[in-house]
Amino acid sequence: MAPVEPSSEPLASKPTGDLSASERAVSDAIGRLMQFWGFKRNMGRLWTVLYLSERPLTAQDLRDRLCLSTGAVSMTVTELLRWGVVKKVWLQGERREHFAAEGNLWKMISRVLREREQAEILDTITAMEEALRAIEPQTRAEDPEVRDRAVVQYERIKQLLELARLGRQLLDALVSTARLDASALTRFLLGGR
């Protein structure tokens, strides 16, 4: 990772300004993880900055702290709002819109798992089911060459399908666990094997 860290920590108590070294490190780390998970890196960074802020921030705060353009902040925030991981906050007296991170991590995770992962895996499952239906007749073909090929493929696709279904069940389990709380999952993972 970063080879050196300037030892002086500019813990600016001012609302606007650069991020502290720790904030930067954490938001970058989460940004990378998010990117790895298929989101835009800046979504992760922006969310983290909000999450680590003791109070809601304006678009401009975010622009300054993350060194992004106005437009980028707007678009990123919009996207995060769509995912329900950031909320708008109206502060009386304040003209500007403020934003805060959803604080319930499990709520976030389960939502992403539900909406994104499941959609993806469901498409795959559907495609494979269709393929199975298409191949099935050929497994009774006259031509032995055709038939054998069909039988092999039928078996293998069934194998894949089973795996995909297992994945779906795992996601289901995670999502419903997450809806309750994390401790159930923790207990499972640590407890009986």
Partner DNA sequence: ACGAAGTTTCAAAACTGCGTGAAACTATGG
Partner DNA sequence: CCATAGTTTCACGCAGTTTTGAAACTTCGT
Query: Quick one: tokens of 21?
Result: 């070294």
- Assess 21 for contact with a copy of itself (CB under 8 A): yes
Q: Which residues pair with 57 in a beta bridge?
A: 99
Which option in DNA, a copy of itself, none does residue 89 bind, with CB closer than 5 to 8 A by kind?
Answer: none
Range 128-131, long-range pairs (CB < 8 A, 24+ positions): 128/157, 128/160, 128/161, 128/164, 129/161, 131/157
Among 52, 47, 51, 71, smallest CA distance to 60 is for 71
Which option in DNA, a copy of itself, none does residue 91 bind, with CB closer than 5 to 8 A by kind?
Answer: none
Place of tokens 């300004």: 17
- Assess 22 for contact with a copy of itself (CB under 8 A): yes
Let me know: does 108 contact 116? Beta carbons within 8 Å: no
Nearer to a copy of itself, 21 or 89 (CB): 21
Which residues contact a copy of itself (rule: CB under 8 A)? 1, 9, 11, 13, 21-23, 25-26, 28-30, 32-33, 36, 38, 51-52, 54, 105, 109, 120-121, 123-124, 126-128, 130-131, 134-135, 138, 143, 145-146, 148-150, 152-153, 156-157, 159-160, 162-163, 166, 169-170, 173-174, 182, 184-186, 188-190, 193
